[in-house]
Structure 1
Amino acid sequence: MQITSNFDSGNIRVLDASQADNIQLEIVKDNQSDFYQWFHFKLNNTDRCEHTLHLMNAGTSAYTEGWTDYQAVASYDREHWFRVPTEFDGEKLSITLTPEYDSVYFAYFAPYSYERHQDLLHQAQLDIDCQLQVLGQTLDGRDVSVLKVGEEGPNKKVIWVTARQHPGESMAEWFMEGFIDRLLDEDDGVARSLLDSSVFYLIPNMNPDGSVRGHLRTNAVGTNLNREWAEPSMARSPEVFLVREKMLATGVDMFLDIHGDEALPFNFVAGCEGIPGYDAKHQALEEKFKAILLAVTPEFQDDKGYDKDEPGQANLTVGANWVGNNFKCLSYTVEMPFKDNDLLPDRSVGWSDTRSSLFGRDFLTAIYHVVDDLR
């Protein structure tokens, strides 16, 4: 029996793998950080008996509430990820599976690989409406890439969508894959209409270094990018610095920042109620956008989510707050679950890569219905 995480986004440390019914593992912390929760590893050369894998340090991870009612995902082919029996006793997370094949992968959520990320970017650039731009490099030397879809114009809206500031939230890039696929579909009337009225700047992965390193929340040097927007630097957060400079050059009429939430088993959005200058127009835009999402998809709800900031108390180091305040625009953080959507549970796959992608497609309809009101 062998256990390895020596691959893209891999994360695990083996403590004891001598007994199939008591495999002891640890999740590795993000580099130069105390954050950890993401895991991704492979179990090889297994017998066809029940295996129990204990993540021994789960009880002191970044978001322990995320383990309640959580089920890990597994895959034999790295394409189809299914949920496996998982229990949390307050200290360790225990995963149980009787393997059907010689090798099986386990992960916190369906991974989105760096190779697939490159495929997404370079297949998109083949579309006549799409241009692949490189803003600069990360600390590990990877590209900070943006897809520009559509053309600027004097009356065109500028819409930005970013994902995976927190690299372990891989559902965010699955969301982007669906969003981009629909936006580039020349037979889709919503997409065609939006490109007549708007230009899109899309960043499927804001944190490629953290993604490849198997981090939960930070970049190569342990920086939480979604707390860097007030004063980013090329030394600690070049990803945010470069994107923010591009935003200042293009302007922003609407911004969506795509994330995953460890604890809440729902899809929801977080608005900008606490930013300085939040007014009735901003509130009306937010309410209309949420109302359209509620009408478009039963996967979305607005009853459960984060507490709203008090007026003037928003944290302006957070991306959606900084953008909403600086550009006086509709700006939302979009959250999806690591667990399942309790409104529409699926016992086999839970909230999944495919459902995340379909959810991304739904957002184009909501944007279509508010785009004329953005300014």
Structure 2
Amino acid sequence: MLKISTQFDGGNVDIIDITDPTNMQLQLPCDNASDFKQWFYYRVQGAAYQNLTMHFSNAHESAFPGGWQHYEAMCSYDRSNWFRVATEYENGTLTIRHTPLANSVYYAYFEPYSYEQHLNLIGEAQGSGLCQVDDLGSTLQGRDLNLLTIGNQAASDLKIWITARQHPGETMAEWFIEGFLNRLLDHQDPTARALLDQATFYIVPNMNPDGSALGNLRTNYAGANLNREWQNPTLEYSPEVYFVRQKMHETGVDLFLDIHGDEEIPFVFVAGTEGVPSYNERIADLEQRFKTAFKAASPDFQDEHGYAKDAPGQANLGLATPYVGETFGCLAYTLEMPFTDNHNWPDDDFGWNGQRSLRLGEAALSPILAVLRHLR
């Protein structure tokens, strides 16, 4: 008998009618306390060798309907190995077609990164002997908001801050952090050693653990879009930003990266702080140095496609990157990865996925090293 379930970390879908496997009617679910919708993650059982056709009739109501162009859903039998399956978007409906080769199969908007993976990542980082794990506070549902501190924590050290997954459905951001940590904590990597000789890193692998567990796309348990809360976060609505911002003011910031995924733009790119009042030639020079070094470190990174730059003085300081760049007068970037594929280097079987995000995280150490001695 055909069955769909979502009672696992990050699981979420609305079931309308699945009596006919060739015409299954589903809907994209809303975030638990907001109208944002785009993320889905569910398990199908009892469908081995059946030609499944799964229709999402409300795809046109999603937060980013342009993201369905050239999109293919992700699929896995074991939740470790994910691949793309045939998907089309027509007349406002998203349709996934697949014939599973086993009775249990998972479908997701993007390769998930579970809370258990998150906890394992933190444990492995601490086990390196180079990483200190601190608790910044609790989320509204009582989950831990952890900070990883890596380096000598000397007063003279440069302070490098990296946050990820303010938007919980952008799971590629935590895959990126896993790759970044793998390299930074490698005793034999000369780039990592050179960085830790001069800098202390402050890394928040998951800014939104509640939203991640709930299967939300963009918001926390209270319905807050954390990347709009940086000017005036509150303990009642956006404690995640409140705690991280408080710690930033204690340590100072010399370089900031906020890691995201973009639903519609099929490239890897960064967005800077051109629109903040204090933007100047020094920051512009740092941005150019960073981008040049990143392109040399990873062919997946490019600087032709991305967001339109803010006009001078028009940046939204509620966003993390403009707020941190303006407050600390530092190089600050939002880094975006695609949900579909990187059109510069397409992969028909996997598209953009967890492993490519991880490799990009490894590569990101190189541009940080390139700008390090210019940060102050």
Per the normalisation by structure 2, the TM-score is: 0.99
> What's the counterpart of residue 322 of structure 1?
323
Displacement after TM superposition at 1:32 (Å): 1.9
Displacement after TM superposition at 1:257 (Å): 0.1
> What's the counterpart of residue 171 of structure 2?
170
Letter paired with 1:332: Y
| SS of aligned partner of 1:125 | helix
Structure 2 distance, partners of 1:85, 1:28, is 21
> What's the counterpart of residue 185 of structure 1?
186
Residue 37 (structure 2) pairs with residue 36 (structure 1): yes
| SS of aligned partner of 2:42 | strand
Which 10-residue stretch deviates more, 53-62 or 166-175?
A: 53-62
Displacement after TM superposition at 1:46 (Å): 1.0
Letter paired with 1:8: D
> What's the counterpart of residue 28 of structure 2?
27
Displacement after TM superposition at 1:90 (Å): 3.4
Structure 1 distance, partners of 2:278, 2:131, is 35
Displacement after TM superposition at 1:297 (Å): 1.1
Which 10-residue stretch deviates more, 355-364 or 120-129?
A: 120-129
Displacement after TM superposition at 1:288 (Å): 0.6
> What's the counterpart of residue 201 of structure 1?
202
Letter paired with 1:351: W
Q: Percent identity?
A: 51
Residue 248 (structure 2) pairs with residue 247 (structure 1): yes
Q: CA RMSD in A?
A: 0.6
> What's the counterpart of residue 218 of structure 2?
217
Structure 2 distance, partners of 1:331, 1:262, is 22
Displacement after TM superposition at 1:294 (Å): 1.1
What are the Cα deviations for residues 217-237 of structure 1, in whole angstroms up to 9, with x where unaligned? Answer: 000011000000000000000
Indicate if the aligned counterparts of 2:158 and 2:199 stay in contact, CA closer than 8 A: yes
Letter paired with 2:335: V
Displacement after TM superposition at 1:300 (Å): 0.6
Report the number of matched residues: 375
Residue 36 (structure 2) pairs with residue 18 (structure 1): no
Indicate if the aligned counterparts of 2:28 and 2:37 stay in contact, CA closer than 8 A: yes
| SS of aligned partner of 2:211 | helix
Letter paired with 2:164: A
> What's the counterpart of residue 91 of structure 1?
92
| SS of aligned partner of 1:192 | helix
Displacement after TM superposition at 1:94 (Å): 0.2
Which stretches in structure 1 are left out of the alignment for 5+ residues? Answer: none
Displacement after TM superposition at 1:151 (Å): 1.6
Which stretches in structure 2 are left out of the alignment for 5+ residues? Answer: none
> What's the counterpart of residue 148 of structure 1?
149
Displacement after TM superposition at 1:207 (Å): 0.1
Per the normalisation by structure 1, the TM-score is: 0.99
Indicate if the aligned counterparts of 2:48 and 2:104 stay in contact, CA closer than 8 A: no
Structure 2 distance, partners of 1:294, 1:209, is 34
Displacement after TM superposition at 1:154 (Å): 3.2
| SS of aligned partner of 2:177 | helix
Letter paired with 2:87: T
Structure 1 distance, partners of 2:64, 2:56, is 14
| SS of aligned partner of 1:248 | helix
Displacement after TM superposition at 1:47 (Å): 3.8
Structure 1 distance, partners of 2:61, 2:129, is 49
